[in-house]
Structure 1
């Protein structure tokens, strides 16, 4: 059954894939690595302009490593989860120091870099270097859950996901890379979580969920906490002030002093300091230097 998914996925992807920067011929391993960091939990539309700005300023890992971490945090701007900016800066430094400035191809070497997990390591190896590995993100897991397992939603991420995707991949490296990309693309634009467009799906003829009559098998996915009024919002407000401040520094008592929940304000600042996104020196807060 799993092997039946590859041919229709390849044909559909070649006709319907979105024109995205990181899919361009010769985009390069560094650009793909940066894009994968940015795309984690962030919509494509917000990533594209920021990615272009980053790669213009830092076209190589060594270029980013030579800049202070504060510059990375500042240019991360509205992408959210700003720890990714620090992780990317550290990964760039590690690539410069351990790999002569070249993004490694080996999955284990990629996994050894700061901020890189199973998905990102395999995505770089596959989409930058053309190697054959399973690449599994949230969209892929949903496609597999429906088409192969007949479930309406996937369960929690598990190591079995990689084995499940491996069974779908063709033997040819190039075709395998296309199938990896196609499964993600299908989950992003057709086999969506809330409103799947099954009439437009290239897997309709082989989909186990469709054959079973689209049963509701439950949804065990973790729900993201509401942003409004959250600690994440308070953290974002602190970073926004410091990004805009001269020298990215401001008196501690003046940073979001008007925040309606003083305890939350303190908690946000303390957590940013713990994460290394903010430093406190002599009564002032500033981005990392």
Structure 2
């Protein structure tokens, strides 16, 4: 899961799939990633750009082995202490891998929630709002739903408000709602 999240940074899922499958097929364990030559990992993920991901993969794989016996940490502070792991990645791993009742807010989720609730993300903690909306037993599902909805309907440049199923409750000016 952590490998996928690092590869997904600033990259679409469609692009990542072409690099992820060969990478985890070739290096299926943390030990294999640590032992692999950097150039070989780099060659596999080069089409994605962001060459620093090779360093992330190698360093956090080594940290997982050294600090966590190769196991994925189950708490946010331990995840955040892994090289290259930030708030979004830690929360995403907790929601998807461990079913923890948290959400992960990227720019797409922030846009969706701030528009729908008519909130200024500079004045309201959208992460708290997302966590409050996340059902404890379905955190992964709601996170996927928000990401997919933001990508397909509530897009950055051309939101498709006319076809939006949640438009009647939306406070976005684009949807005809009012914000403070």
State the match for 2:24 in structure 1: 55
Give TM-score scaled by structure 2 length: 0.89
Match in the other structure for 1:118: 87
Select the residue among 17, 38, 43 that pairs with 1:74.
Answer: 43
Match of 1:199 in 2: 162
Distance in 1 (CA, whole Å) between partners of 2:137 and 2:29 is 26
The residue aligned with 1:96 is 65
Q: What stretches of structure 2 of length at least 5 have no aligned partner?
A: none
How far 1:45 sits from its partner (Å)? 1.9
Count of residue correspondences: 180
Name the CA distance, whole Å, in 2 between partners of 1:191 and 1:167. Answer: 20
Structure 1's consecutive aligned runs of 4 or more residues displaced over 3 angstroms after TM superposition are: 214-217
Q: Is 2:136 the partner of 1:167?
A: no
Match of 1:137 among 87, 106, 109: 106
The question of whether the paired residues in 1 share the 8 Å contact of 2:118 and 2:178 is answered with: no
Once the two structures are superposed, what CA deviation does each residue of 1:36-84 show, in whole Å capped at 9, x if it has no partner? 1111111222111101111101111121011132322222211111102
| Unmatched runs of 5 consecutive residues or more in structure 1 | 1-31, 218-289
Structure with the higher fraction of residues in helix conformation: 2
Question: TM-score, normalising length from structure 1?
Answer: 0.57
Structure-1 separation of matches of 2:59 and 2:124: 27
The answer to whether the Cα contact below 8 Å between 1:150 and 1:212 also exists between their aligned partners in 2 is no
Cα distance in 2, alignment partners of residues 105 and 159 from structure 1: 28
C-alpha RMSD over aligned residues: 2.4
Cα offset, 1:126, TM superposition: 0.6
* Separation (CA, whole Å) in 1 of partners of 2:33 and 2:126: 33
User: 2:26 matched to 1:83?
Assistant: no
Matched, 1:182 2:151: no
Structure with more contact order per residue of length (Cα contacts < 8 Å, sep ≥ 6): 1
* Correspondence 1:30-41 to 2 at 5 A: 32-41=1-10
- Give the deviation of 1:201 after TM superposition: 2.4
1:213 aligned partner = 176
Q: Is the 8 A contact 2:114 2:126 kept in 1?
A: no
